[in-house]
Structure 1
Amino acid sequence: MVTLITNGIKITVETAFEGTYFKNQVTQYAFSYHITIENHSKDQVQLLARHWDIYDALYPRESVDGEGVVGKKPILKSGETYTYSSGCLLYAPHGSMSGYFTMINFTTTKMFNVTVPAFYLNAEYALN
């Protein structure tokens, strides 16, 4: 588990290896990640977008941008928490992800980025 606080928003990430899949004679490794977003600021905020940098040990970095998370743009009042789960497929049993969420502060009407700390995706059986 990794945790980081940016501008009063705490991000916690937990990961799990979900299994190996074979598709078109290619092995892929499935990982899930569970993210908890906690609003420790005094203001109400909304998550608008996400940016991910995905590192696969066998391929160059891939960047992914999109609106919200898992089809939602959660609003968090001060003290509230939002948790969601998602996942990714890698071609190697090792990799990592990092990124940020773009949010808006409803009090100041300013947008800001919240860093998602780098987290590792590792198939346990492949670790030394």
Structure 2
Amino acid sequence: MYTHTTRDIRISVEPYYLDDQSSPSDDHYVWAYHVKIENVGQVTVQLLNRHWRITDAMGRVQEVRGAGVVGEQPVLDPGESFEYTSGTPLATPSGIMVGTYEMQTDGGERFDVDIPAFSLDSPHQPVQLH
């Protein structure tokens, strides 16, 4: 699991490869990732927007921006958390994702929370010894 805390908002991500939705012979690899967003501070916040950078093994970058996550813009009071699962396909057997969530306090202040970079690895990626 990958975890990072920015301004009392803890983001934990656990990616996993979806063999049943992938087709390596067609260069189609799919991962799901489970995200937990925890408010460990003293101020209520709302998740407004997301921004992802998804990089495949060839260095191709896809940027994804949008409102909320999985159709929601959750409000997190102190001590509360929100969890969701989403996914991404790649044309290569490995990649990396990193991003930010734009949050807003109940006082109207907006700030970005870092989503830790996490590796997308499939069993179809050749092992390289260094």
Do they superpose with TM above 0.5? yes
Q: How does 1:69-108 map to 2 (within 5 A)?
A: 69-106=69-106, 108=107
Q: Deviations over 1:49-87 (max 9, x none)?
A: 000000011351111100000100000000001000000
* Structure 2, unpaired ranges of 5+: none
Structure 2 partner of 1:35:
35
Q: Distance in 2 between matches of 1:43 and 1:84?
A: 22
**Given that residues 58 and 91 in structure 1 are in contact (C-alpha distance below 8 angstroms), is that contact kept between their aligned partners in structure 2?**
no
TM alignment of 1:1-128, pairs within 5 A? 1-19=1-19, 20-21=22-23, 26-106=26-106, 108-128=107-127
Q: Which runs of 4+ in 1 moved over 4 A?
A: none
The TM-score normalised by the length of structure 1 is 0.92
Query: RMSD between aligned alpha carbons?
Result: 1.4
Q: Which amino acid in the other structure matches residue 121 of structure 1?
A: L
Cα distance in structure 2, aligned partners of 1:102 and 1:124: 33
Contact (CA 8 Å) 1:18, 1:30: kept in 2 or not? Answer: yes
Instruction: Please report the TM-score for the alignment, with normalisation by the length of structure 2.
Output: 0.91
Unaligned runs of 5+ in 1: none
**Aligned sequence identity (%):** 38
Whose strand fraction is larger, Structure 1's or Structure 2's? 1
Aligned residues: 125
Give the distance between the partners of 1:123 and 1:39, measured in 2 at CA.
Answer: 32
What is the DSSP-based 3-state SS (H/G/I as helix, E as strand, rest coil) of the residue aligned with 1:73?
Answer: coil
> What SS class does the counterpart of residue 35 from structure 2 fall into?
strand
